[in-house]
Amino acid sequence: MRKKVVGVIGGHSCTKEVEEIAQELGKKLAKVVEILVCGGLGGTMKAVCQGFKTASGVTIGIIPSYDKNDANKYVDIVIPTGLGLARNVVVVKSADVVVALPGEAGTLSEIAYCLQFGIPVISLGLWDIKGVIKLKTVDEAIKKVKELISKSVASRDCPRRGLSHGKIRTE
């Protein structure tokens, strides 16, 4: 059966405070979703993977290079795309719902892709962009992920047509 996938995006370097939030987020996400997908590198990505693993979740790291060793040690399955920054598209598109932690331009591009694809994206604190679901605490985010994941399964039975390469939705 198709597994539910949560994506977490955020900077590859982060403060100690954000690191702790990412770990807590990962730990709690693992109780509501089986698979975590992320960019696979350090910073928030490493912290969220670490948290997700403590609760026995399976972590997938979709990395920009071809070298599996570039992935952090909490990644179970490495997808070494070699696509550079174009891998950002693959990270968010693989997820049924995305949570954005603080980051910089890379995270911004991923949020933009979520909006373009119509993938629900929750922001914890930082990002204030139209279309993003802004929440304040990890627990609020978990509750929202739970709710969105159940919807995403239903919507898979009746996929949004009209999203093709030639005609791309922008809201």
Q: State residue 37 phi and psi, 5-degree precision.
A: -115, 140
Q: State the DSSP H helix or E strand holding residue 60, giving kind and residue range, or none if neither.
A: strand 58-63
The interface with a copy of itself within residues 88-117 (CB under 8 A) comprises 89-90, 93-94, 103-109, 112-113, 115-117
Closer residue to a copy of itself, CB minimum distance, 121 or 135: 121
With a CB cutoff of 8 Å and minimum separation 6, the contacts of 110 are 9, 88, 91, 92, 98, 100
Is 125 a binding residue for a copy of itself by CB under 8 A? The answer is no
Is 76 a binding residue for a copy of itself by CB under 8 A? The answer is yes
Determine contact, residues 81/23, Cβ cutoff 8 Å.
no
Closer residue to a copy of itself, CB minimum distance, 21 or 132: 132
The interface with a copy of itself within residues 29-58 (CB under 8 A) comprises 35, 41, 58
Structure tokens given for 110: 């991923």
DSSP class of residue 127 equals -
Min dist CB 8 to a copy of itself, Å, is 16
Of the candidates 46, 25, 27, 34, which has an alpha carbon nearest to the alpha carbon of residue 6? 34
Q: Which residues bind a copy of itself (CB under 8 A)?
A: 1-3, 5, 11-12, 35, 41, 58, 60, 62-70, 75-86, 89-90, 93-94, 103-109, 112-113, 115-117, 129, 131, 156, 159, 163-166, 168, 170-171
